[in-house]
Amino acid sequence: MPHKPPTQEELERRKIVGIHEETITDVSSSDYPWTYPGEDHSWDIEAFKRNFRIEFHQNDPFEASFSLIGCDASIANAFRRIMIADIPTLAIETVFINNNTSVIQDEVLAHRLGLIPFKGGKEGLHKFLKWWRRPEDESQINNSYYDFNTVSLRLEVKCEHNEKAAPGETDPTKLYKHAHVYARDIEFCPVGRQEKYFSGENAIAPVNPDILIAKLRPGQEISLSMHMHKGVGSDHAKFSPVATASYRLMPVIKIERPILGKDAEKFAKCFPKGVIGLEKVTKQEAAQKGSGYEGHEGEVKAVVVDPMRDTVSRECLRHPEFKDKVKLGRRRDHFIFLVESTGQWESDAIFLEAVAHLKKKAQDLEKQVINMVR
């Protein structure tokens, strides 16, 4: 029997992950050869270029949302993992504590300092600064710090009584000077060429100056210096350039039979605001036989307005009045990304960097494979 090419409807059906009351169906990817006998599904760059699309929904410095449409989960997941674990950032790595008489222990203080996100001139951060490597000979460690691999910071705070405080004052921040130590108290100490790359607007500084590091009482003091190095998220989470980088599949809501009147209003309430809209049944629809709208002209009907806003809670599947009237699903090849930057990179630049990173990894692998075959 000769193979029949799949219909448009069949092609559409293959892309949907079914979401039912108790189960989820068709979860596996089918983007590889021999999934559908008689059809050619071998990888083809031209076919990929024809079908692949990127849409940006939001692009702010600290938050970007965009869709990758027409690619396999393995690719989308690779981008997500690279964004979290492989894009380098600068963070505090070593803390030299001269004095710390606060109630917070040295180890905990050092850990807290490490987690503070910093910003600085993009050219200096991404081009000028290089990796710092621990020298093999431990005694040579003091000769391994240079202006292109280490950034030096200082934190010197001493808490004292405030003589100008009003009598009977109870607020520690008014009663004492420097009762709270904030990220903005950290001082950047440029060395060598760092003056050129990190001056004025481009200075190395905390992204969020109001991060509380410690609380002090009169007589207590924190005096320390710090070294920052470049690192990646796979080494420690403090180096990750993103607060979150995640994706979800595009929800699909298919109303199979008309949902009218009071039911339509109830149906809309089963979804987050803006997902389902209410429209009047038109004269033409009411006139159409077998449409389910006969004799309902002027009544409200439920229509899908914006499925992207749906959380796929499946609430509508719990109500018997909507039985067999609605089908829920997700598009297997539509990935809605949400990337939240910690501030060192622009959020969209993180994704572009992830693309460049994956390309580099693929080229490295190609070289290895060629060497293996030789």
Partner 1 sequence: MSREQYQVPTGSPTADGGSFKVAPRDYVSGSSDNTMHYLCGDCAARVPLDKGAPIRCQRCGGRVLYKERTKRMVQFEAR
Residues that bind partner 1 (CB under 8 A): 91-101, 106-107, 110-111, 113-114, 141-146, 150, 152, 154, 189, 191, 219, 223, 225-227, 236, 238
Nearer to partner 1, 162 or 225 (CB): 225
Nearer to partner 1, 106 or 169 (CB): 106
Structure tokens at 333: 């090849």
Nearer to partner 1, 86 or 93 (CB): 93
Minimal distance in Å, beta carbon 203 to partner 1?
17
Minimal distance in Å, beta carbon 141 to partner 1?
7
Tally of CB atoms within 10 A around 156: 14
Minimal distance in Å, beta carbon 350 to partner 1?
22
Nearer to partner 1, 47 or 191 (CB): 191
Nearer to partner 1, 28 or 143 (CB): 143
Half-sphere exposure of 269 (CA within 13 A, CB side): 7
Nearer to partner 1, 189 or 287 (CB): 189
Minimal distance in Å, beta carbon 145 to partner 1?
5
Minimal distance in Å, beta carbon 226 to partner 1?
7
Minimal distance in Å, beta carbon 154 to partner 1?
8
Nearer to partner 1, 109 or 259 (CB): 109
Nearer to partner 1, 106 or 256 (CB): 106
Minimal distance in Å, beta carbon 93 to partner 1?
6
Nearer to partner 1, 191 or 352 (CB): 191
Q: In three state form, how does the secondary structure of the chain look?
A: CCCCCCCHHHHHHHCEEEECCCCEECCCCCCCCCCCCCCCCCCCHHHHHHHCEEEEEEECCCEEEEEEECCCHHHHHHHHHHHHHCCCEEEEEEEEEEEECCCCCHHHHHHHHHCCCEECCHHHHHHHCCCCCCCCCHHHHHHCCCCCCCEEEEEEEECEECCCCCCCCCCHHHHEECCEEEHHHCEEECCCCHHHHCCHHHCCEECCCCCEEEECCCCCEEEEEEEEEEECCCCCHHHCCEEEEEEEEEEEEEECCCCEHHHHHHHHHCCCCCCEEEEECCHHHHHCCCCCCCCCCCCEEEEECCHHHCCCCCHHHHCHHHCCCEEEEEEEEEEEEEEEECCCCCHHHHHHHHHHHHHHHHHHHHHHHHHHHC
Minimal distance in Å, beta carbon 186 to partner 1?
12
- Burial class from Cβ neighbours inside 10 Å (0-12, 13-18, 19+) for residue 252 reads buried
Query: Is residue 292 a contact partner of residue 324, using CB atoms and an 8 Å limit?
Result: no
Minimal distance in Å, beta carbon 113 to partner 1?
5
